Amino acid sequence: MSIKTNITLFFIIVFLNATFAEKHALIIAIGNYPVSGGWTSISSHNDVPHVKAALANLGFLPANIQTLTDEKANKKGIIAAIQALTKKLKKGDIVYIHYSGHGQQVVDDNGDEIDQLDESIVPYDSPMKFQPGVYEGENLIRDDLLGELTDKMRIICGKDGQIVLILDSCHSGTGVRGMGKVRGTDRIMGPDNFIPTIVSTERSMNIGKEENSSFAPLACFFGASAKELNYETLDDQSKPVGSLTLAITTVLGKMHQTYTFEELFERIKFKMKTSAPRQNPQWEGPRDIKILGGTLQNTEFSFTVSNIKDPSTITADIGTFFNVYTGSTVELISKNKNKVICRGEVTKAYLTESVITLESPIEEAEDDLYQIKVIQKAQPSIQISLKIDLGPESHWSKLAGKLSESPMLNIVSENADIFLTEENSVYSLQLLTKEGSELYSAAYDGTELDKIYQECEQNIRVFLQGKFLKSYDNEISKFDFSLALVSVDCQSQQPNIINPTDEINVKVGSCVKFKITNNGITGGYFSLLDIQPDNIINLIIPAVKIGYTAEEYYLKPGDAFTTDYIVEIGEPLGEETLKLIVSKTPQDLSGIIMTQGKSKRGIGTLDPFEQLLNASYNPVSMRGAKVRQSEGDEIGTSTLFFKIVK
């Protein structure tokens, strides 16, 4: 064989390897641990459909996604599954490993930890309690072992490949009442008299310490730091799921452009601010590399009809995971002729499936003849979950019964956003957030239940509105505006921009200005909302109280704006949220806020965010209003969190 032939063959092989690079995934979900092991059951199984849907959006084939659950996910099974996956890999491949289960700290066995503790994930066959000579943590999978296993993958996949590791677990803590299930324990796998000599400053599991330019990049995401609790939350089907799982799959499933790992993490933090506000998710890895190879499925594709129930009712493989909610408008299209048959409306939306009522009946009853195209997406109902924690003979049972009938409340038995309880005595009512903050309290005197009910409902409404607005984000926005807090001397007004990547603490009595920058290629009008720790909403821009109008706040691409007035920071203490809203037309937010959602303008004259803000004052009315989701060129958002401290 000639040298020329060898060279040609070499380049053909290189090309083929690059062309046929594949994406592989392993999902490990352990929820029903053996009772004998001492672990509580958790909701890891509910994480699986979220992960699978997100991976499908990123181009993972079902044949390349392996799922390991419960008894199959013992130590031997997990290691065997990782090793079997490793044998399938080749240069350029991408690997995603997702673990949902308990976590635990274990006494370090090789001296590489400053705090003398390894972090570990808990397989099905690892009991919680250390028993000298009987069980000393042999079945735990330590961070050291995870590092070794992933390093083998990194070597095979090479610099053009990628490894992503998600650990939705934690290694500390016993849950606080009302806050939901915790994935982890504060019981160290070690002797009862073991006390670490040094308090760790470690932020996470410290996996993949070895760096080599020929290795595939490794990115690891953790639900909480090594010293924090990791709570479950509820998805939009009211099912308990991991807080990190919900955050990362929501971002991956709905992103319209590929993110770097750093951008992905920033969006995860934003999602978890409302679902798990006391957790600080962590990550390790390269900052500027695109997540999972930077490839997305076409988000405009038609969906498949999965079943024809009758000539006017069908089901399709769309759902809330794809941002399609009840009230959305779709078209039924013939596959062969690419012809619109009729329109329909989503009347029930599940995670990855919807029931659709058609405007006119169809003649041919074979589901493989049709596809569904989403024409207009409706906003989901604004709702919050409540756990009622009262005794069977409670004086407050009538009030609880009335609250249970409220359309803005979803009554659940665990992982609630807020809960109603008799904390100190049967005569003392408390309405608490899942973090333990008091929203409302009242004393029972037998005469004013109606008044207490109205006050209780009003406090719930305010909390719900604040939670909704804090989490609002248009995923498909074409605007690219940023928001910065500028600290100024209250007398001289000398400015000092606060770095938004740091945790921002602002003292009561200090003064600030607000800077908005258009970093994109599209100009837009902008408004700025301030949501206090007690969920009271203030409008900062436009400053209508001093004579400004919405039409005056417009930024061309590349331009920046800083308020020419200062704002003095006052109480209440806690986390404040700044929400920048960018729009292609000026917005009348002041009228909506001043009238508490009773704006004289008709719903049809308001843009999508104005409709949402209007509806947020009366969430029940949103059910009939059919507020539509905004298009990419209509609304953009940017959010900045900071803490008000003494």
Tokens of 12: 């053909």
Confidence of residue 553 (pLDDT cuts 50, 70, 90): very high
Query: Hey, which residues does 163 pair with through a beta bridge?
Result: 95, 218
> pLDDT tens for residues 149-193?
999 999 999 999 999 999 998 765 444 444 567 777 767 766 766
- pLDDT at res. 85: 98
Closest CA to 574 of 456, 466, 477: 466
Which residue is associated with the tokens 């970093």?
519
Number of alpha carbons in the 13 Å side-chain half-sphere of residue 345 = 7
What confidence score (pLDDT) does residue 491 get?
81
Cβ contact 92:21 at 8 Å: yes
Tell whether the model's pLDDT for residue 9 goes beyond 60.
no
Phi, psi of 428 (to 5 degrees): -115, 115
Averaged over 455-463, what is the pLDDT? 92
- Rounded to whole angstroms, the Cα distance separating 54 from 271 reads 15
The residue that leads in pLDDT, 341 or 625, is 341
- The DSSP output letter for 301 is P
- How far CA 133 is from CA of 108, 127, 141, 190, in Å, comes to 17, 14, 19, 12
* β-bridge partners, 329: 345, 376
Instruction: Give whole-number Cα distances, 7 to 4, 10, 15, 16, 158, in Å.
Output: 5, 5, 12, 14, 22
Task: Look over the chain and give the mean of its residue pLDDT values, rounded to a whole number.
Answer: 85
DSSP conformational letter for 129? S
| Cross-strand partners of 348 | 355
- pLDDT of residue 296 exceeding 70: no
- pLDDT in the model for residue 256: 73
Contact 29, 102 (CB under 8 A): no
Tokens of 511: 């003064």
Q: Determine the pLDDT at residue 116.
A: 55
Please tell me the pTM assigned to this model: 0.86
Contacts of 42-45 with C-beta under 8 Å, sequence gap 24+, read 42/100, 42/101, 42/102, 42/181, 42/183, 42/232, 43/181, 43/232, 43/239, 43/240, 43/241, 43/242, 44/69, 44/100, 44/101, 44/168, 44/183, 44/242, 45/69
Question: What's the pLDDT score for residue 178?
Answer: 44
